[in-house]
Amino acid sequence: MTTEPVRTQRVSLRAELVRLGTRLIIKPASRGRSLAASRKTFRFMAHLAPPPPRGTKTTHIDAGGVPAESIVRPGALAGRHVLYLHGGGYCLGSPANYRHFSWRIADAARAPVLAITYRLAPEHPFPAALEDALAAYRWLLARGVKEIVVMGESAGGGLTLALLMKLRDENLPLPRAAVAISPWTDLALTGASLTDNADADPMLNVEDLPPFAAGYLAGSDPHDPYVSPLYGDPSGLPPVLVMAGGDEILRDDAVRMGEKLRRANPQSDLQVWPRMVHAWPLFATVMPEARAAIAEIGAFVARQAGARDI
């Protein structure tokens, strides 16, 4: 299943170099790697992340029992907040891996970013990550935040959508909007792009997904909407921006979910960017397309979460 890409201009040389680098280094290195080795690499990479610019205030806080980083940039609007849920297959990563990126989201959204350290599988399988995301969201509500945007990439994108459904089902105040970048929405692994894009995807290996899914599921039904939001009912959800790269193995996770969201809410948007690697906005330090995607996110937030203040 495909959709017309939002971008048709020539892909930048830097993007092509990122594709080449991920294909030559990341994709073969991650194939079959143990979880312990992957975690060690993620911890090492966190130390290499470029620091945010001067004027950025980063604070370690307890967000309703969930460890988190608060990232605040000059110009943040009062009463608005971004809740960021990182990716990593539900088994890897922390906010420290995103310090080169979270400040850019804070700038684009003109809002503080709360990046949480949710519990990781397999030590803490489903529903631990969802419980932590819900606890942090409740914490923001308790602090009187009026405009919340939930955002995440990869597994964090799927967790973002699962959280929306959980909030709706529990009759809690919904966020103004959400953003899901390259979301993993189907842990049953049924997307055609898993096969169609297996060779084209320059970063992800199809065979790496089942162990991550099994670690998070721990026997749970992969069709549970709180695990795989693709199988949930999106009615009543706020506007969601779904973004994916055209060559990703997870492209159809994004496309199928995005199409369901658009049918339920015409203010939702689905964007497929040609030749972009998985979660390409994270490459904003080197790729113009990543910076353009972040600008798109900022524009979407402005439209949905309080354009009157921009």
Catalytic residues: 154, 248, 278
Distance between CA 4 and CA 246 in Å, rounded? 10
Gap between the Cα atoms of 149 and 238, Å rounded: 10
Tokens of 282: 């994270």
148 vs 38, 118, 170, 297, CA distance in Å?
32, 18, 17, 14
DSSP state of 177: E
Q: Which residues contact 181 (CB under 8 A, 6 or more apart)?
A: 151, 152, 153, 154, 157, 243, 244, 279, 281, 293
3-state SS, residue 288: helix
Task: From 197, 130, 152, select the one nearest 297 (Cα to Cα).
Answer: 152
Q: CB count, 10 Å around CB of 240?
A: 31
Give me 131's structure tokens.
């419980």
Print burial letters for 95-116: b (CB count within 10 Å at least 16), e (below 16).
Answer: bbbbbbbbbbbbbbbbbbbbbb
